[in-house]
Amino acid sequence: TEQKEIKYGPLVAANRTDENMEAFRNYGLGQFIHWGVYAIPGNEWEGVSARGGAAASEWIRSWRGPNAPNDWTSIYDNLYKQFNPKSFDAKRWAKQAKDMGAKYMIFTTKHHDGFALWPTKYTDYNITKSPYKKDIVKEVVDAYTAEGIDVYLYFSVLEWNNPDYFYKAPQTTEEKEKYNQFLQYTRNQLLELLDNYPQIKGFWFDGTWDQAWIQAYEFTYNLEKELRAKHPGLIIGSRFRNDEYGKRHFDSNGRLLGDYEQGWERKMPQDFEWLDGNDWDAVMTIPPNGWGYMKDWSGLYTKTTDDLLDMLMHSVSMNGNFVLNFGPDGQGNMHPGEDVLAKEIGEWMQVNGEAVYGVRHAGLPTSKLGYYTKKDQTLYLTVFNKPVNNIVRIAVPKKAEEVPVTAQLLVNKKALEVKHSDIGLDLDKNTYYDIQLPADFKSERAFVIKMQLGAPK
Contact 23, 11 (CB under 8 A): no
Name the minimum Å distance from CB 395 to ligand JFZ: 34
Q: Tell me how far apart the alpha carbons of residues 254 and 248 are, in angstroms, rounded to a whole number.
A: 10
Smaller CB distance to ligand JFZ: residue 61 or 103? 61
Strands (E), 170-252: 202-206, 235-236
Query: Which amino acid is located at 282 in the chain?
Result: A
Name the minimum Å distance from CB 154 to ligand JFZ: 7
Name the minimum Å distance from CB 57 to ligand JFZ: 9
> Strand 104-110 vs strand 150-156: parallel, antiparallel, or unpaired?
parallel
Position 293 contacts ligand JFZ (CB under 6 A): no
Smaller CB distance to ligand JFZ: residue 265 or 347? 265
Position 263 contacts ligand JFZ (CB under 6 A): yes
Of the candidate spans 52-60, 138-146, 330-338, 397-405, the one that interacts with ligand JFZ by CB under 6 A turns out to be 52-60
Name the minimum Å distance from CB 263 to ligand JFZ: 5
The residue within the footprint of ligand JFZ, chosen from 39, 102, 256, 283 (CB under 6 A), is 283
Smaller CB distance to ligand JFZ: residue 77 or 206? 206
Question: What is residue 186's three-state secondary structure?
Answer: helix
For the segment 172-231, give every residue that binds ligand JFZ (CB under 6 A). 206
Position 353 contacts ligand JFZ (CB under 6 A): no
Name the minimum Å distance from CB 273 to ligand JFZ: 20
Tell me which residue of 274, 246, 260 sits closest to 205, measured CA to CA.
Answer: 260
Of the candidate spans 54-62, 75-83, 131-139, 386-394, the one that interacts with ligand JFZ by CB under 6 A turns out to be 54-62
Q: Tell me how far apart the alpha carbons of residues 153 and 189 are, in angstroms, rounded to a whole number.
A: 12
Of the candidate spans 5-13, 51-59, 144-152, 341-349, the one that interacts with ligand JFZ by CB under 6 A turns out to be 51-59
Report how many residues bind ligand JFZ under the rule CB under 6 A: 8
Position 265 contacts ligand JFZ (CB under 6 A): yes
Name the minimum Å distance from CB 237 to ligand JFZ: 11
Q: How far apart are the first and last CA of the chain?
A: 45
The enclosing H or E element of 409 equals strand 403-409
Of the candidate spans 6-14, 55-63, 142-150, 326-334, the one that interacts with ligand JFZ by CB under 6 A turns out to be 55-63
Name the minimum Å distance from CB 442 to ligand JFZ: 38
Smaller CB distance to ligand JFZ: residue 266 or 398? 266
Position 58 contacts ligand JFZ (CB under 6 A): yes
Position 260 contacts ligand JFZ (CB under 6 A): no
Smaller CB distance to ligand JFZ: residue 283 or 449? 283
Position 256 contacts ligand JFZ (CB under 6 A): no
Degrees, nearest 5: CA angle 114-119-122: 60
- Which pairs count as long-range contacts for 335-341, CB under 8 Å and 24+ apart, including other chains? 335/286, 335/293, 335/294, 335/297, 337/286, 337/297, 337/302, 338/286, 339/96, 340/305, 341/286, 341/303, 341/304, 341/305, 341/308
The enclosing H or E element of 436 equals strand 430-436
- Which pairs count as long-range contacts for 82-86, CB under 8 Å and 24+ apart, including other chains? 82/40, 82/130, 82/131, 82/330, 83/37, 83/40, 83/127, 83/130, 83/131, 83/132, 83/330, 84/130, 84/131, 84/132, 85/39, 85/132, 85/328, 85/330, 85/331, 85/332, 86/331, 86/332
The enclosing H or E element of 143 equals helix 136-146
Position 157 contacts ligand JFZ (CB under 6 A): no
What residue ranges bind ligand JFZ (CB under 6 A)? 56, 58-59, 206, 263, 265, 283, 291
